[in-house]
Amino acid sequence: MSRCEWTNSDIDVMIEELKNQKTLGNQAQSGWKSDAWTSVCKRVNSEGSQKGAPKTAKKCQDKFGALKNAYKSLHFICEQRHQGLDGMRKEDGCSNRGMMRSGRLLLFHDDMFALVDGKIATGAKAFHPSETIGTSLPSQSSEMPESQSPEAESQSSPSQIEQTPGAGAPSPIQTSLSNGSSLASISSGLSTQTPAPPSRKRVRAESDSPEPEAYKRRRRQADSLSEVAVALRAIGDGLSATEATPQRRRKAIAQLEKDGEFSPESKRRVLRVFRKHMDIADTFLGITDKETRTGYLLDELNDIDLL
């Protein structure tokens, strides 16, 4: 039985139809509706390359799931390295070498960004909440009454303040002043209060000048190195596990089910990898970050040519 062969034109047709289905409202929070995959299947088989076996709706769903996981892995790597997609295109040593060699993920990155994250990666025609809110609200000048000038406010008499609707009763200090009390009696009453003890917490002295750029860069590098050290320690703990192989494999499978990032067909491929390569299962089990775990499995599947 021949297997499905996916070309760039097939993926292009699939993504284009998914964008149409999203416009029609066939995308939900939990995923795509079944009608969307039926439409994708029909269009791919009619407009695609038609290589290999016919592409069913389930095959289309599994292929998009693999592309989605690979996109998340590459997006996570870009964020960790503090560089954009252009920097990844110029870099040859990307950890996700399988997808980078084929060039598929870079070809369809912007479209995947729009489908997965709900916005366009390049920023063109992106949704900006501040602009929408700013245009929908009426102008402040049309709603707010004309305010008095500072000179008019300073010349307001006490009687006008008292006659203002909603104004509260005069404060004790105003009452004392109206009764002829001296300021000395008020200040003496305030001075009897026990002052709060000074804080011993060290704070940075206020300054109008921003932090030097070199200091910010060193601080970001230190934070990145700290995160890498924590991840390596977690991987080391997983590799040094003393439990028996079946128990560790069961834990890795349970973690895979809990993450829920792979389609059923992709899960079967991962289970085959866990069965043959226990070191991959140990490393997967030792990674604490969910996105890093998913990206690591995608790299291994690409290297073994199972994706």
- Is residue 216 in a domain? no
- Is residue 110 in a domain? yes
Measure the CA angle with vertex 209, ends 199 and 213; round to 5°: 105
Q: In the prediction, which pLDDT does 260 show?
A: 85
Asked if 122 and 16 sit in the same domain, the reply is: yes
Coil, strand or helix at 207:
coil
Q: Looking at the whole model, is its pTM more than 0.75?
A: no
Pull the structure tokens for residue 145: 């009454």
- Is residue 31 in a domain? yes
Q: What is the C-alpha end-to-end distance of the chain, expressed in Å?
A: 19
E strands along the chain, which residues? 27-28, 31-32
* Number of structural domains found in the chain: 2
- Is residue 171 in a domain? no
Pull the structure tokens for residue 287: 């990674």
Rounded-to-integer distance, Cα 244 and Cα 246, Å: 6
Coil, strand or helix at 4:
strand
Range of the domain at 275: 222-303
Query: Mind listing the pLDDT tens digit of every residue in the chain (307 residues)?
Result: 578 888 888 988 999 999 999 999 888 777 889 899 999 999 999 998 888 888 999 999 998 888 888 888 877 776 776 555 555 555 544 444 444 444 555 566 777 777 887 643 334 444 444 444 444 444 444 444 444 444 444 454 444 444 444 444 555 545 444 454 445 454 455 445 556 666 565 555 555 556 666 666 666 766 666 666 555 555 555 554 456 788 888 888 888 888 888 888 888 888 888 888 888 888 888 898 888 988 888 888 888 765 5
- The per-residue DSSP string of 176-191 comes to HHHTT--HHHHHHHHH
Q: In the prediction, which pLDDT does 142 show?
A: 42
Identify whether the C-beta of residue 48 lies closer than 8 Å to the C-beta of residue 13.
Answer: yes
DSSP 157: -
- Is residue 152 in a domain? no
- Is residue 160 in a domain? no
Rounded-to-integer distance, Cα 249 and Cα 268, Å: 14
- Is residue 109 in a domain? yes
Rounded-to-integer distance, Cα 55 and Cα 65, Å: 15
- Is residue 279 in a domain? yes
Asked if 119 and 12 sit in the same domain, the reply is: yes
* Domain C-terminal end among 130, 155, 173: 130
* Domain C-terminal end among 130, 159, 174: 130
Question: CA dihedral in degrees (102, 107, 110, 112; nearest 10)?
Answer: -50
